[in-house]
């Protein structure tokens, strides 16, 4: 589960990028991915058009409707990955005390800038969305390797 504030920019892009990599690796029977927001600003909306544009530019199919993170997600998902410190704080407030979900910042898996925030491109232009894509692409490569190794999955 990828989490950001409104669930129309970073987290649906991360969801789409990782889903595409999982599909290419023939691991879709083992890894299920969704994204959500910590706020209810955009419930039911499609991703920001700039998110869709950058995904399609990189041949990543994207299909998503914004949803809000809730306690059910902590039962359903083994991993919760946030985009920044602010969302990390919001998720920590929502996370039930009995949750066994592992909790990471996506950039914990970054080969260049560990523990940084994934930039929020919302107020910028297409260049910010491209930078966001490049960060997510790099991090999800490492995240997928982590999942494969941790869960002994055969990469197809």
Closest CA to 14 of 35, 45, 31, 39: 35
Catalytic residue among 4, 9, 132, 139: 4
CA 14 – CA 51 distance, rounded (Å): 10
CA 14 – CA 140 distance, rounded (Å): 8
Six-digit token pair at 20?
């595409």
Six-digit token pair at 91?
């998720």
Based on the residue annotation, tell me whether 138 is a catalytic residue of this protein: no
Cβ(99)–Cβ(69) under 8 Å? no
Catalytic residue among 48, 84, 110, 120: 120
Catalytic residue among 10, 50, 107, 138: 10
Among the residues of the chain, which ranges form H helices?
10-24, 49-57, 71-76, 85-94, 126-150
Based on the residue annotation, tell me whether 50 is a catalytic residue of this protein: no
Based on the residue annotation, tell me whether 120 is a catalytic residue of this protein: yes
Six-digit token pair at 150?
């941790």
CA 124 – CA 111 distance, rounded (Å): 25
Q: Which residues are catalytic?
A: 4, 10, 120
């Amino acid at each position: 589960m990828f989490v950001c504030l409104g669930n129309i920019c970073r987290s649906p892009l991360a969801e789409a990028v990782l889903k595409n990599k999982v599909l290419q690796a023939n691991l879709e029977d083992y890894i299920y991915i969704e994204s959500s927001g910590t706020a209810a600003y955009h419930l039911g909306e499609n991703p920001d058009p700039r998110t869709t544009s950058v995904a399609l530019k990189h041949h990543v199919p994207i299909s998503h409707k914004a949803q809000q993170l809730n306690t059910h997600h902590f039962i359903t998902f083994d991993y919760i990955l946030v985009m920044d410190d602010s969302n990390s704080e919001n998720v920590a407030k929502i996370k039930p005390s009995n949750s066994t979900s592992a909790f990471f910042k996506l950039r914990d898996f970054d080969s260049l800038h560990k523990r940084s925030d994934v930039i929020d491109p919302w107020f910028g232009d297409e260049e910010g969305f491209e930078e966001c894509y490049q960060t997510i692409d790099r991090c999800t490569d490492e995240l997928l390797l982590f999942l494969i190794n941790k869960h002994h999955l055969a990469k197809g």
